[in-house]
Amino acid sequence: MILRPHSFLRLYSSTAGNGLKILRTISEVRAWRRTALESSQDVSLVPTMGALHSGHEALVQAAKSLTDKTIVSIFVNPSQFAPTEDLDQYPRTLDSDLELLTRLGADAVFVPSVEDLYPSGIPLDQSRQVGAFVTVQGLSEQLEGQVRPQFFRGVATVVTKLLNIVEPERVLFGQKDAQQCVVVKRLVKDLHINSVVHVVPTVREASGLALSSRNAYLTEQVRQDAAVIYAGLNQGLELYRSGETNPELIINRIKDTIKTKFNDIEYVTVSDLETLQDIKGKIWPIKGALISLAVRVPNQFGDQTRLIDNILL
Ligand code: PAF
């Protein structure tokens, strides 16, 4: 049986060791926020789905260096999962997450219930959903959006809710989810949300594999083989640095490298950094570009896990 975060929380008092405030409800967060405001302390928010790893650690550390107070949200957001995806299987490790946040010196953690964040309910089948949702058109349909059509609507919706609840001066995301960063920046701009978005570099294993909560699904062998993904991205970068500006040739080099270990490459794309549209013909060094990819690798459940990664040119 999978215990949902809010049922776990009944076991905890409102303060874990070292002063980490555990906030369960929206009104508790608003009261905490008001106290910070009244004492002229600015706040960073680090939104997460838990199963925290060193990538999240880097986000919390960056947040602590930016503002007086840091609040982390832990919420496995149903609306960004399709009915066929891994919502139930998604790792939930609240005990160790709270320990890590205490050790890092985060000030508060917001662990809301699904019912609180989605007062109109949230069936996974999008055609049955009612209520308010946020879409960032033009940036959500390509790349990850092609394979996960409801993903960015779910992310944009929950991030908007969290920003409305916490009203942080700053909000931090990891570069590993590059499209998510672009989508969130646009939603903050277009909806006039009064928070600055910060993007923190991807944290990697020694092999180069980007850290992800879903790496927990992999066997040790696949985890080692998956180093080939970042190696491929770096070969693309090297080719570009040696003067190659044709995206197709760069993409082919990356695919060839990855295919030495994995055949199921969903996409490798060279895109414009702002519009996320494919760059055709030539990469202009003055504009730069984003190479992003998704690869399906075998997992320990006899199924496949999608790994995503990216690099900036
Ligand atoms: O990147 C994630 O962990 C999630 O997409 C986010 C931003 C916490 C929204 O659920």
pLDDT the model gives residue 9: 46
CA–centroid distance, 313 to ligand 1, in Å, is: 25
pLDDT the model gives residue 17: 57
- Tokens 């008001």 belong to which residue? 34
* C-beta 310 within 6 A of ligand 1: no
* C-beta 77 within 6 A of ligand 1: yes
Sign of the dihedral through C-alpha 227, 232, 234, 235: positive
Residue nearest atom 3 of ligand 1, based on CA coordinates: 48
Cα distance between residue 89 and residue 171, in whole Å: 27
Can you spell out the DSSP letters for 248-263? HHHHHHHHHHHTTT--
Residue nearest atom 1 of ligand 1, based on CA coordinates: 48
CA–centroid distance, 48 to ligand 1, in Å, is: 5
Q: Which residues pair with 46 in a beta bridge?
A: 72
In the predicted model, residues of the chain with pLDDT beneath 50 are: 1-11
Are 288 and 312 within 8 A, CB to CB? Answer: yes
Cα distance between residue 43 and residue 28, in whole Å: 15
Residue nearest atom 9 of ligand 1, based on CA coordinates: 155
pLDDT the model gives residue 271: 98
CA–centroid distance, 284 to ligand 1, in Å, is: 31
pLDDT the model gives residue 16: 64
Q: Which amino acid is at 117?
A: L
pLDDT the model gives residue 40: 98
pLDDT the model gives residue 2: 40
* Ligand 1 atom at shortest distance from the alpha carbon of 213: 3
Residues in Cβ contact with 46 at an 8 Å cutoff, skipping those fewer than 6 apart: 56, 59, 60, 63, 70, 71, 72, 73, 106, 171, 172
* Ligand 1 atom at shortest distance from the alpha carbon of 47: 8
Cα distance between residue 55 and residue 200, in whole Å: 9
CA–centroid distance, 205 to ligand 1, in Å, is: 20
* C-beta 158 within 6 A of ligand 1: yes
CA–centroid distance, 155 to ligand 1, in Å, is: 6
pLDDT the model gives residue 58: 98
Strand intervals (E) in 5-98: 21-23, 43-48, 69-74
Are 140 and 152 within 8 A, CB to CB? Answer: yes
- Tokens 């953690």 belong to which residue? 109
* C-beta 154 within 6 A of ligand 1: no
Q: Is 56 known to be catalytic?
A: yes
* C-beta 177 within 6 A of ligand 1: yes
Residue 74: φ, ψ to 5°: -120, 110
pLDDT the model gives residue 120: 96
Residue nearest atom 2 of ligand 1, based on CA coordinates: 48
Are 102 and 13 within 8 A, CB to CB? Answer: no
Cα distance between residue 208 and residue 226, in whole Å: 9
pLDDT the model gives residue 304: 95
Closest CA to 158 of 134, 141, 175: 134
pLDDT tens digits, residue range 131-155? 999 999 999 999 999 999 999 999 9
Which of 59, 76, 77 has most ligand 1 atoms within 8 Å of CB, for mutation?
Answer: 77
Domains contained in the chain, CATH given: 17-200 (3.40.50.620), 213-312 (3.30.1300.10)
